Amino acid sequence: MKQIEVYIGLGSNMGDRASNLQDAINIIKNIIGIQVKAVSSIYLTEPWGNKNQDDFYNQVIMIETHLSARALLRELQKIEINMGRQRTENWGPRIIDLDILLYGDEIVDFPELKIPHPYAQQRLFVLIPLEEINSEIVFPDSGMGIREVLIRALGREDEKTINKVD
């Protein structure tokens, strides 16, 4: 079966944020058909959207998998639920958030799943760790390389702070 290179964004702003990220990565490592190939540093970032909550720890991992995008989404949603995530408000606090950012060079447009992630090219907490683990990424929808996207996002997000934790 063909292995696809996939990038997943992780975020947590409740409880022991670093442990939540590591727990999610450990669970992902144990899913049959997934190999974790790269893990970014952890970044402390201000909340996006709803500002009235604690800062997030964010991270990006690169995996290889033969799972379809929908099957991978189901696995990630199971992890979120099992770790205690409750979807009570849009962009609200969460124990763990797992987003498929890129799925090979595919563009996916299902009601429940859009890849590349619709906000990936706007969010520094996605772009900085993504560029850290692969500086050669090209977004299949825009055709732009990660560095160009990052420079554009830095120009728009000058009031945002993002700091490496580890």
85 is catalytic: yes
94 is catalytic: yes
Domain ranges of the chain: 4-164
For the stretch 9-31, pLDDT in tens is: 999 999 999 999 999 999 999 99
Q: At what angle do helices 146-156 and 124-133 cross, to 10 degrees?
A: 150
Q: How many residues does the chain have?
A: 166
- Quote the CA–CA distance of 13 and 76 in Å, as a whole number: 18
Residue of 23, 87, 99, 158 marked active site: 99
Residue of 54, 55, 74, 85 marked active site: 85
Residue of 54, 55, 70, 94 marked active site: 94
For the stretch 49-65, pLDDT in tens is: 777 889 999 999 999 99
Give the bridge partners for 103, in sequence order. Answer: 6
Q: Taking all residues of the chain, what is their mean pLDDT, rounded to a whole number? A: 91
Q: Residue 163: its pLDDT value, please? A: 86
Residue of 97, 109, 147, 166 marked active site: 97
Percent of the chain clearing pLDDT 70 (strictly above): 92
Residue 50: what residue type? N
**CATH fourth-level superfamily of 4-164:** 7,8-Dihydro-6-hydroxymethylpterin-pyrophosphokinase HPPK (3.30.70.560)
- Provide, for the chain, the percentages of residues in helix, strand and coil under a 3-state DSSP scheme, each rounded to the nearest 5: 30, 30, 45
pTM as predicted:
0.93
